[in-house]
Amino acid sequence: MDRLDNTVRPYAWGSTTAIPRLLGVEPTGEPQAEMWMGAHPGAPSRTPRGPLDQVVEAAPEQELGPAAVAKFGPRLPFLLKILAAGAPLSLQVHPDLAQARAGYQDEETRGIPIDAGHRNYKDANHKPELICALTEFDGLCGFRAPDAAARLLAALEVDSLKPYVDLLHAHPEEAALREVLTALLTADREEMAHTVTEAAAACARLGGDHAPYADIAHHYPGDPGVIAAMLLNHVRLQPGEALFLGAGVPHAYLDGLGVEIMANSDNVLRCGLTPKHVDVPELLRIVRFEASEPGVLRPEASPDGEEVYATPIDEFRLSRYVLPENTAPHDLTRATPQILLCTAGSVRAGGFTLSPGESVFVPAGEAAEVSGPGTVFRATVVA
């Protein structure tokens, strides 16, 4: 078992206070957006044996277990993060596995540099993800029903939005959502900026269901993604609740602190709320144009006290233990690799005492016991 030393990424949307508060340290005044735990080559966790990606590469079957290597290959299949949003993240979708493989191969064949600003596919993997709230957590997830989106837009009484309202009423669901998103992303930028300014003022005046979009517009004035965001469900998670984001589902995180886990990929196609590249044709090919409820997840408790967040994929499995004081240790030994992350209290994991924000890597098959008092998240795979 290795204690992890993890990198904090200073993305501009990050909170300046949430991660320092969790860690019990003074804020630096700079945004601290994500703490990465895993073997992603962009910021691998550091261990006494070296960077975790190199540790895994040197002995994959020993570190990951034969079953995980057979199923996912010789790399850690997931990336665990603490995510602290102080401003909205970009509105985005992720490809499925077949789309990622095809898109990556196409861009490789065309010789697009991996770090090019207009490159869509950084790797050949999909990126399903799960966010579990540690505080109240606001986000956008999946399309509203077209009629509901039409009502939200119509209430703004902005003349230039009326054609979009009519489109949402006039077509079947998939066609309505596709036509409106396409129109928003291909409209004249100057005219759209004026529309967004009017819409933002109306959202601020109306409040209620419109309030989140006024805040988004404050951070991204004139961005067509503000109107695109109004096509999506707004959801507020309470601590312990989670959202699963599958392929093609448009989403954005707005505010709050959470534990995020995802397949080990960087593939993102953006719809707005960003100065970065938006590839509209490729985006429209990837997005699933269907209305859906956000599907808030609550953990399913097992007899041994493990609370599991059930998802339909195997690259990661996230659970948590809320550990009282003076109880027998829980045996977490498993034939697959694990990362254990403390988020509250003081958790004993093997020979380590973990404070909030601290974590360890447990190689496959290595004995692992945890005890409290505190809360520990357990990340592993299904193999």
- Cis-peptide into 356, omega within 30 deg: no
> Strand locations in 49-207, DSSP E?
50-51, 78-85, 91-93, 129-133, 137-143
202 CA to centre of own chain? 30
Provide Rg for the chain, Cα atoms: 22
DSSP alpha helix (H) spans, 312-368:
none
Q: Mind giving me the DSSP string for 295-320?
A: --B-PEE-TTS-EEE--S-SS-EEEE
Q: How far apart are CA 223 and CA 192, in angstroms?
A: 8
Catalytic residue, chosen from 21, 46, 144, 270, is: 270
Write out the two tokens for 314. Answer: 């195997």
User: What b/e readout covers 89-113, taking b as 16+ CB neighbours within 10 angstroms?
Assistant: bbbbbbbebebbbebbeebeeeeee
Q: How far apart are CA 220 and CA 211, in angstroms?
A: 14
270 catalytic? Reply is yes
Q: Which residues pair with 309 in a beta bridge?
A: 318
Q: Return the residue matching tokens 């100065």.
A: 275
Q: Is the dihedral of CA 25, 28, 32, 37 positive or negative?
A: negative
Which amino acid is it at 232?
A: L
Confirm if 10 and 33 have CB atoms less than 8 A apart. yes
Q: Mind giving me the DSSP string for 44-88?
A: PPEETTEEHHHHHHHSHHHHH-HHHHHHH-SS--EEEEEEEESSP
CA atoms within 13 Å, Cβ hemisphere of 359: 28
- 133: three-class secondary structure by DSSP: strand
Find the Cα–Cα–Cα–Cα dihedral 110, 115, 121, 122, rounded to 10°. 120
DSSP state of 173: H
Would you name the residues annotated as active-site residues?
A: 270
